[in-house]
Structure 1
Amino acid sequence: MSAPQTTDSPVLEAARRARTAAADLAPAPRTLRDAALAAIADALTARTDEIVAANAEDVSAARAAGTPESVVDRLTLTPERVAAIASDVRDVIALPDPVGEVLRGSTLPNGLELRQVRVPLGVVGIIYEARPNVTVDAAALCLKSGNAVLLRGSSSAHASNTALVAVLRDAVTEAGLPADVVQLVPGQSRESVTELMRARGLVDVLIPRGGASLIKTVVEQSTVPVIETGTGNCHVYVDERADLETALAILVNSKAQRPSVCNAAETVLVHEGIADAFLPRALDALAQAGVTVHGDKAWQQAGGETVVPATDDDWAAEYLSYDIAAAVVPSLDAAVEHIRTHSSGHTEAIVTTDTAAARRFTALVDSAAVMVNASTRFTDGSQFGFGAEIGISTQKLHARGPMGLPELTSTKYVVTGDGHIRR
């Protein structure tokens, strides 16, 4: 498809520069791309004070605007978080290079040699909310996989993202790559997002990261192909044959270890056969962790006034806070039915000592990740060994689950002949 005609639009001009930079980046050897990533990690460490100072402007403005603390937490960068981001970049350097990997190959009966190889997508646009760490994660994974990246963060993180992208561009230039392989999309208005979504022919794919409203808008209004990431209404199901100590540890970790992220549990389902023994202990453990339970009648009877009566809205809620919906179910199949009805398709967990129950749960639950006797918090590119992730896809085409380097590539067929002609 041909690119849009020349225009003075800053967004489309940035996309054109990204396309030119992507063409230069695609044939660059791994050594050059890895050198750029090393330069980025070093620069993040060296310029931490500058980054944290810019971030403090965004955090101060967010608090003054009455932004919920769960969102402020996502927005905040500390020296420790910047160091962790730099460490993630270094982890990406060590990952296998997907570009050029041969997925399959054969010699056809007519002597033609056929190979399917991984190639960069080209220009990747990322539209995301108040998560400045995404700025670096996305840039690192796109560079490693040979893609130019256009970053459109929220206005609430503009100072942070501006500082981070300045660091990234300086670093890649120092390494010998074009600065325009990493760009912040110009403008803070909704119009700039719309222009990015309509830049078909210049931008190869868009990846939205954020709440349900943002994702829905991008999926429904974009003319550029979209890889859909999803919200995280994650469930923990405590089976009749669960070990109580294991179940308590997994439940509290899934909910309270960091409640403001998409892989935190938002609903707990408990088999009625274990409810009398488990609910009092679960209520105590959740209370100690500062979690408010929004429960059905069984949870209300067990917890009294400490339990908020659950409404229909609670079962579909992505709280991103110290809140959890809770229900007692009569069977594993009832738990599965509840999950099918209300889940966002992100991550579900079963806690059980019954191998058959675990197998049935994993077979019936259709989410991007299904955990057996493990916290939902493990659905993460870094935890899966992929390095920093570009997002967690809840769709079923091309990419599903934590999206690492392979998911940022496409393929092409290379066919080699010796003067072959078709007859």
Structure 2
Amino acid sequence: MENNELKQKVLSQAASAKDASRALAVMTAQQKSKILLAMADALSKNAKDILFHNEIDVEAAKEAGLAAVLTDRLTLNEARVNAMIQGVRDVAALKDPVGEIVEDLKPAQNIDVKKIRVPLGVIAMIYEARPNVTVDAATLCLKAGNAVILKGGSEAMNSNRILAKIIYDSAVAAGMPAGAIQFIDTTDRSAVTELLALDKYVDLLIPRGSEELVNFIRKNTLIPVLSHGKGLCHTYIDKDADLKTALEIAVNAKCQRPAVCNAMETLLVHKDVAAEVLPAICKLYSEEGVEVRGCPLARNIIPEAKEAVEADWSTEYHDKIISIKVVNSLDEAIAHINKYGSQHSDAIVTKDKSAADKFLAQVDSAGVFVNASTRLHDGSVFGLGCEIGISTQKLHARGAMGLKELTTTKYIVRGQGNIRK
């Protein structure tokens, strides 16, 4: 596709989304839920077709030498497709945030002032490798009254294309305004550049992918960006931790899905329990095929660990690799997390309530956990149905983002001829 032709195509899609967003914004909760349930039924009916097209992407990724843990992100199986469909149904059942009265003010001027929740308008998603985002993003955006523009990565093109077609066709048939879901069907990377220039049409841009992708988008657009942040997550095993609990959490946080953003990358262990904890956890990591890198104090206890260098403390591995550091105190653990972490998800394992409370108060992250795995930082786990991402920003949203995070507010003022004097 020629550059000018691509530019006009992306512009046309954005303009169509803008038009559709105005109709979508005034739809009732019942109308939107009907659309979502139709999407879920269509996805269920076409599950085999979805898996067939996904297998094409997965085989191409393997032939291209994509790392196994990254190929895992790309892969859909029956369980994942069923979870995706259930996420759509769960969101359909959630309370519609649009129209919610956030504040009901009674100023002295005898006017009625309410702050209400309204859709953002048009949300653009730029994402890599994860075909489920196609469905999750469309589902949440539609329920919150927004049109959505979807630009997935080339590695998932076959999966994204079939998913977008299924949800669009079924949604329009159920009453969705035509154009409310826009799928940019090209592997040409310049389509992203064209999309970034459309600040007159797009109200919010959400990138989900590598740190390089997020940084590129931030530097090259005037559209407000709400990024799904880097996940450099920590677990701290306190001196008063229950050993069994600590081991279970440390294994789950690292090993369940090591390529995802809420997987643990660094394990911090208090010096008073290091001699007991480290040999046990290293045995479990060895069984899971995890490469262990340790600080000098850790390697004194587990000499089989590789030497951890400075760069390890700030590396998101996306792989079966873990960095382990022995710390002298809770304060040192908190300081390490706040220095090297990405403000995503961090956990403490302890039976000491005062230590837990201090950790909760002083660790500056979007999700802070006590005696729980960082893997739990997820919209579906939190009851949001599904999520559009996990924000590590402090404005406009932070943490797992669901329906409310895809809305804004406006003031509704009713008077009786009131004027300002």
TM range (shorter): over 0.9
In structure 1, how many angstroms separate the alpha carbons of the residues matched to 2:73 and 2:280? 30
- Match among 319, 332, 353 for residue 334 of structure 1: 332
Indicate yes or no: 2:347 matched with 1:349: yes
Q: 266-275 or 291-300: which moved more?
A: 291-300
Separation in structure 2 between the aligned mates of residue 246 and residue 49 of structure 1, nearest angstrom: 39
Displacement of 1:301 in angstroms is 2.4
Partner of 2:373: 375
| Other-structure match for 1:103 | 102
In structure 2, the partner of 1:270 is 269
* Structure 2 unaligned spans of 5+: none
Q: Which residue of 2 aligns with 1:89?
A: 88
Cα distance between partner residues in 2 of 1:188 and 1:279: 46
1:147 matched residue in structure 2 = 146
Q: Does 1:245 align with 2:244?
A: yes
Is the contact made by 2:7 and 2:194 (CA closer than 8 Å) also made in structure 1? no
Alignment of 1:109-120 (within 5 A): 109-120=108-119
Q: Deviations over 1:48-72 (max 9, x none)?
A: 1111111111111111100001111
The equivalent of 1:79 in structure 2 is: 78
1:420 aligns with 2:412: no
Aligned counterpart, 1:317:
315
User: 1:108 Cα deviation (Å)?
Assistant: 2.0
Q: 2:359 aligns with which of 340, 358, 361?
A: 361
Query: What amino acid sits opposite 1:98 in the alignment?
Result: P
* Count of residues in correspondence between the two structures: 417
Tell me how far 1:190 sits from its aligned partner. Answer: 2.1
1:186 Cα shift? Answer: 4.1
Partner Cα separation in structure 2 for residue 228 and residue 270 of structure 1:
31
Classify the secondary structure of the residue corresponding to 2:103: strand
CA contact (8 A) 1:7 1:13 kept: no
- Of stretches 105-114 and 16-25 in structure 1, the one that deviates more from structure 2 is 105-114
Q: TM-score, normalised by structure 1?
A: 0.96
More moved, 339-348 vs 171-180: 171-180
SS in 1 for 2:266: strand
Q: Which residue of 1 aligns with 2:284?
A: 285
In 1, are the aligned partners of 2:116 and 2:409 still within 8 Å (CA)?
yes
Judged with a 3 Å threshold, the aligned counterparts in structure 2 of structure 1 residues 324 and 8 are, in CA distance, closer, same or farther, namely closer
Equivalent residue, structure 2, for 1:199: 198
Is contact 2:161–2:185 with CA below 8 Å preserved after alignment? Answer: no
Where does structure 1 lack aligned partners over 5 or more consecutive residues?
1-5
Q: Distance in 1 between matches of 2:279 and 2:60?
A: 41
Deviations 1:362-382 (A, max 9, x none): 111100010011111110011
1:172 aligns with: 171
Structure 1 CA distance, aligned partners of 2:374 and 2:20? 38
d(CA) in 2 for partners of 1:179, 1:414:
29
CA contact (8 A) 1:10 1:186 kept: no
Q: Corresponding residue for 1:25?
A: 24
Query: Whole-Å Cα distance in 2 between the matches of residues 323 and 299 of structure 1?
Result: 15
Residue in structure 2 matched with residue 130 of structure 1 by the alignment: 129
How much does 1:293 deviate?
Answer: 0.8
Q: Which amino acid aligns with 1:374?
A: A
SS at match of 2:372: coil
Distance 2:173 2:335 in 1: 55
> What residue in structure 2 maps to residue 190 of structure 1?
189
The structure-2 alpha-carbon separation of the partners of 1:225 and 1:249, relative to structure 1 and needing over 3 Å to count, comes to same
Q: Secondary structure at the match of 1:9?
A: helix
Deviation at 1:8, TM superposition (A): 6.0
Displacement of 1:7: 10
TM-score, normalized by length of structure 2?
0.97
Seq. identity, %: 48
The residue identity in structure 1 corresponding to 2:173 is E
CA distance in structure 1 between the aligned counterparts of 2:32 and 2:253, rounded to whole angstroms:
36
Q: Secondary structure of the residue that 2:89 maps to in structure 1?
A: helix
Task: Single out whichever of 284-293 and 96-105 deviates more from structure 2.
Answer: 284-293
Q: Which residue of 1 aligns with 2:59?
A: 60
SS in 1 for 2:267: strand
Distance 1:7 1:258, change over 3 A: closer
Q: Deviations over 1:11-63 (max 9, x none)?
A: 11100000011111000111110001000100000001111111111111111
Residue type matched to 1:367 in 2?
Answer: S
2:382 is matched with 384
The aligned amino acid for 1:308 is: K
Between stretches 159-168 and 105-114, larger displacement belongs to 105-114
Query: What root-mean-square deviation, in Å, do the aligned CA atoms of Structure 1 and Structure 2 show?
Result: 1.3
CA contact (8 A) 1:186 1:192 kept: no
Q: 1:174 deviation in Å?
A: 1.2
8 A contact 1:232–1:344 mirrored in 2: yes
Give the Cα–Cα distance (whole angstroms) in 2 for the partners of residues 324 and 110 of structure 1: 61
Q: Distance in 2 between matches of 1:75 and 1:253?
A: 21
Deviation of the 1:350 alpha carbon = 0.4
Give the SS at the match of 2:222. coil
SS of equivalent to 1:304? coil
Letter in 2 for 1:254: A
